[in-house]
Amino acid sequence: MTCDVVRTRLLALPAPARPTDDLLSHLAACPACRAVQAEAARLDAVIAALPVPSSDARKGTFLDSLAADGPVIRSIPVLPSSLAGSGSFRPVGSWLKRLDLRWVGGVAAAIAVTVGGVWIANRPKPIQQEVAVKAKPRQELLKKYTDHHNALAKARTAPDRLKTYAVWSDDIQAEACSMSNAADRQEMNSLASQYERMVKDGMEKQARQVADQPMTVDDRQKVLQDAIARLTTAETEARKLEPDARTDARPALKRIADAATAGRKTLTQIAEARGAP
């Protein structure tokens, strides 16, 4: 199991401080991954200790701030006075004042011409789509996870939560399909497990809560039809991709397709039920 796979799975754990058995052997032999686990556990504890906002509006603002874009470093570090006055450190500006900028400009121009010529002679070939898929930033998926967590925290009704789980499951299924020719068996199985939980513990549970609400059969069907359509699409795409996928990826794609099939049948049964589902 690679470090990238271990760290991705650590971030997906509900409690990073308690890793699963299959991660323990890697963590025991890898100080770098143990450091990632420790930091994830620390952040998990910090977030759990944060005060709960006193109103819905303040809670929404607080959650939005967690996912807001912005620079990681918001201020420039100040050099300690002991080092600045020691005589062993000179600010960059003082060195620049001593240089003949015309000479610097000439050297820079020469370097630019040389580097440009070397690059033209050895310019890389266009990146193929397959390589681009393999290099897809993991941060994109993690950001979507954060957005979905925030949406669930803000959701006030079962239909709203069902919609969030449906979109979230779509993202997991799309990630698994796009990575089926690049990810290893462990990572594909991790994505399949996440999808299964999202359908079983998320979509089906919320669909049953929708059924408990007073509404007509037609209204219930309208609420559930988007989730049913998403499950149908996920099932079709995973089964279509499975035969031509890498051998390591096929079992995970089958699990995703099977989970989508089961979820679709359950939600259809709830939608069409005339009495209590």
Say if residue 10 is in the same domain as residue 145.
no
Position 164 in a domain: yes
Position 104 in a domain: no
Average pLDDT in the chain: 74
Between 240 and 131, name the one with better pLDDT. 240
Q: 149 lies in which domain range?
A: 129-277
Position 47 in a domain: no
Give the model's pLDDT for residue 123.
Answer: 52
Query: For residues 30 and 82, what is the distance between their CA atoms, to the nearest angstrom?
Result: 37
Confidence grade of residue 252 (pLDDT, cut at 50, 70, 90): very high
Position 68 in a domain: no
3-state helix, strand, coil in the chain (%, to 5): 75, 0, 25
**For tokens 């620079």, what's the residue?**
71
b/e 94-121 (16+ beta carbons within 10 angstroms → b): eeeeeeeeeeeeeeeeeeeeeeeeeeee
Between 8 and 251, name the one with better pLDDT. 251
Q: Check: CB of residue 256 under 8 Å from CB of residue 173.
A: yes
Q: Check: CB of residue 153 under 8 Å from CB of residue 63.
A: yes
- Percent residues over pLDDT 90 in the chain: 30
pTM, 2 dp? 0.53
Confidence grade of residue 111 (pLDDT, cut at 50, 70, 90): very low
Say if residue 271 is in the same domain as residue 151.
yes
Position 263 in a domain: yes
For 53-67, what is each residue's pLDDT tens digit? 455 555 555 555 555
Position 225 in a domain: yes
Confidence grade of residue 1 (pLDDT, cut at 50, 70, 90): confident
Say if residue 20 is in the same domain as residue 145.
no
For 23-49, what is each residue's pLDDT tens digit? 888 888 898 888 888 887 777 775 665
Find the mean pLDDT for residues 178-196. Answer: 88
Give the model's pLDDT for residue 48.
Answer: 62
b/e 218-250 (16+ beta carbons within 10 angstroms → b): eebeebbeebbebbbebbebbbebbeebeebbb
Confidence grade of residue 141 (pLDDT, cut at 50, 70, 90): low
Structural domain total, the chain:
2
How far from the centroid of its chain's Cα atoms is residue 65's Cα? 18
Give the model's pLDDT for residue 122.
Answer: 53
Say if residue 140 is in the same domain as residue 257.
yes
Position 67 in a domain: no
End-to-end C-alpha distance for the chain, whole angstroms: 43
Give the model's pLDDT for residue 80.
Answer: 47
Lowest mean pLDDT among 40-44, 78-82, 157-161: 78-82
Q: Check: CB of residue 63 under 8 Å from CB of residue 150.
A: yes
Which range among 29-38, 75-84, 173-182, 220-229 has the greatest average pLDDT?
220-229
Give the model's pLDDT for residue 25.
Answer: 85
Confidence grade of residue 229 (pLDDT, cut at 50, 70, 90): very high
Q: Is the pLDDT of residue 139 over 90?
A: no
Say if residue 30 is in the same domain as residue 142.
no
b/e 49-68 (16+ beta carbons within 10 angstroms → b): eeeeeeeeeeeeeebeeeee
Confidence grade of residue 71 (pLDDT, cut at 50, 70, 90): very low
Q: Check: CB of residue 203 under 8 Å from CB of residue 162.
A: yes
Which residues 6+ apart lie within 8 Å of 66 measured at CB? Answer: 146, 150
Count how many residues are written for the chain: 277
Q: If DSSP codes are grouped into helix, strand and coil, which group holds residue 45?
A: helix
Position 44 in a domain: no
